[in-house]
Structure 1
Amino acid sequence: MDVLELMYQMCKCGGQELAGDPARAFAAFNPTTGKLRVYSTPNAQKNAYVQMIACDSVTMLAALEHAQEQGASFMVVENEVVCSLSGTTARGRTYPEAALRAIAKHMATASS
C-alpha cells in the first residue's frame, strides 16, 4: 500500500466522506472544519489527476454559452432573472446563475 492509499484508509477510518481513487487522487470532506481536502500522488505529475474549478467568471460564462447553444431565453422579473431552457424554467439573481440553475434542472428532469 503506497502513501496515498494509506492516507485514504486513514480518512476512511476517521469517518470522513470520500470521493475519488485512492491510487491517484481523492477528496475528503471534514464536517468539523467544513473543509474539503484534496490528496493526490506526490510526484511532479500530480496535477494530471486534480483539477480545481471555482464558480468564477469563467465557469459562469461557460454556463451562459451552453444556455445560448441550447436556445435558452431570459427575462427579468423584478429583481430576478428567469431562464427558460427546453421547457424548463429557473430563477437566479444573475443571468449566469439563472442559466446554471436551468441547465441543472433540465439535466435532472432529463435523466429521471
Structure 2
Amino acid sequence: MDNVRKAMDALLSCGDVDLMEPSGKKLAAREECFVTPPESLSGMPLVYATYEGSGVVGSPTAGFAYFVEKNDTLVVISADRTRVRHISQEQIMQTVAMRVAQSLGASFLVHGTQVLCNIKGVSQTGETYGEAALRAILAFERAEQDGQASGGPLR
C-alpha cells in the first residue's frame, strides 16, 4: 500500500520515486513525466494539482501547504483536520525548548533581565528562559555539526 501511495505521489508531481518489487529488486524510475488529465483526478490529488507549481510543499495524498506573501499567511490544505498541527513560537520556546534543554542537561543563570542557558559548555542569553534555551540549543547543535554530522535535538 505504501508503494502505491509513493507511486501516485510521483506520478502527480513528476518526481522520482524509489519503489521495490516484492522480490526486493529496485524498480527503475521513469524518465518521462506523465501529466494526469484533470478528469482523472479527484479529492486531494485534484486540489493539489490545482496549486502545484505555486511553491507547494507536501503530499497530494496527505496534505500540503503554501505561503501567500501578499497576506504574509501560511495556508495548509488537508482532507483530515486531525492531521494538521499548529505550533506557535511561544509553544516552541516554553515547552519544546525547555524539554530539550533539560534532556541535554542545561543549566540556567538569571542576571537582571537576562537569562543565560549553558548546554555542555555552550552558552547563550535571552530575555526569557525559553529564548535562552532555544538559542543555546541552536548554538550547541551547530557546534555538534561542526564536529560531526548530527540530526539535531529538535528534529
Same fold (TM over 0.5): yes
Q: Which amino acid aligns with 1:9?
A: A
Q: Which runs of 5+ in 2 are unaligned?
A: 1-40, 147-155
TM-score (norm 2): 0.57
- Determine the structure 1 residue equivalent to 2:71: 33
Q: Which runs of 5+ in 1 are unaligned?
A: none
Tell me whether 1:9 sits opposite 2:49 in the alignment: yes
Contact 1:82–1:92 (CA<8 Å) still a contact in 2? yes
Q: Secondary structure at the match of 1:56?
A: helix
For 2:48 and 2:141, how far apart are their aligned partners in 1? Answer: 32
Q: How far off its partner does 1:59 sit?
A: 5.7
Contact 1:79–1:93 (CA<8 Å) still a contact in 2? yes
For 1:107 and 1:10, how far apart are their aligned partners in 2? Answer: 39
Larger proportion of strand: 1
Structure with the greater alpha carbon radius of gyration: 2
The alignment of Structure 1 onto Structure 2 pairs a total of residues equal to: 106
- Determine the structure 1 residue equivalent to 2:116: 82
Q: Which amino acid aligns with 1:103?
A: I
Matches within 5 A, 1:91-102: 91-102=125-136
Report % sequence identity: 31
Moved more, 69-78 or 21-30: 69-78
* 1:68 maps to which of 88, 94, 102: 102
Contact 2:93–2:131 (CA<8 Å) still a contact in 1? no
Q: Which amino acid aligns with 1:65?
A: R
CA shift in 2, pair 1:18/1:110, >3 Å:
farther
Q: Which amino acid aligns with 1:56?
A: E
Q: How far off its partner does 1:58 sit?
A: 7.5
For 1:59 and 1:80, how far apart are their aligned partners in 2? Answer: 15
TM-score (norm 1): 0.75
Contact 2:56–2:66 (CA<8 Å) still a contact in 1? yes
